[in-house]
Amino acid sequence: MRLLLVEDDHRVAAALAAVLGKHGLQVTHARSGEEALHALLPDHGPAYDVVLLDLGLPDQDGFEVCSRIRLRTAIPVIMVTARADVRSRIHGLNLGADDYVVKPYDTGELLARIHAVCRRKAQDGPGAEGEETASDGGLIRLGPVCLEPATRKVTVGEEPVALTRKEFDLLALLAQRPGVVFRREQIISEVWRTSWEGTGRTLEVHVASLRSKLRLPSLIETVRGVGYRLVVPSS
């Protein structure tokens, strides 16, 4: 099992890598958020099975790193941090983390959680999340809609569509798992990186704007009382 350890403290990383190595895990150490994101690029080497992500990184907050990972891949992410408050835990899980472990922790429990998230990923199976989506060199195709995360470009058919930063982030989030309902709280946490309830109206405005700009009113479906999901249109 290949594991990416994102931790800025070299001593902590070395000690943890040694323990995990004794249990058969191949550990690669990334010291910053950008180093971790680079390591996860498709052409950078063998794929990883899980990411252990510390939140206190030198170049950017771990929450930001988790959000950017989720825009690229469904790899399991376990946040490992000293932030024990409930709000941080909820925020991390809403951003797409698969688990949240508070320091100090028991190594045996950490290993059990690593294996648990990998088992769940294996049970989901490849392609379970997006029946009618296709990916080609980083492109995300949703019927006539095409997203290019690297350049943040969107086209419908052959026609480019100008989106704001938040509109693109919202569309890219829903496009990760077409047909799956994203709760309003989760969307607000990931796109606006806040848990403020007052952001709800802003979410509704952005959804309406996306429907209008893409000229596909049925692309984003409202699930009353829960949230939104993306419905892939026919080409």
Closest CA to 131 of 179, 70, 71: 179
Residue 156 has a pLDDT of 94
For the sheet containing 220-223, what is the strand order? 182-183, 227-230, 220-223
Residue 221, domain extent: 133-230
Pair (12, 111) in one structural domain: yes
Region 28-45: mean pLDDT is 88
How confident is the model over 149-206, as pLDDT tens digits? 888 899 999 899 999 988 999 999 899 888 888 888 888 877 877 665 556 678 999 9
- Same domain membership, residue 99 and residue 79: yes
Which two tokens mark 232?
């892939």
User: What are the pLDDT digits (tens) for 51-110?
Assistant: 999 999 999 999 999 988 988 888 899 999 888 888 888 888 888 888 999 988 898 889
Contact (CB, 8 A) for 43 and 17: no
Q: Which of 124, 152, 181 is the last residue of a domain?
A: 124
User: According to the model, what pLDDT value does residue 130 have?
Assistant: 40
| Residue 140 CB contacts under 8 Å (≥ 6 apart), including other chains | 133, 134, 146, 147, 148, 149, 172, 175
Are 34 and 139 part of one and the same domain? Answer: no
User: In the numeric block, which tokens belong to residue 95?
Assistant: 């951003």
CA distance 179 to 171: 13
- 22 in a structural domain: yes
Give me the number of domains the chain comprises.
Answer: 2
What pLDDT does 128 receive?
39
Identify whether 235 is part of a domain: no
Same domain, 37 and 147: no
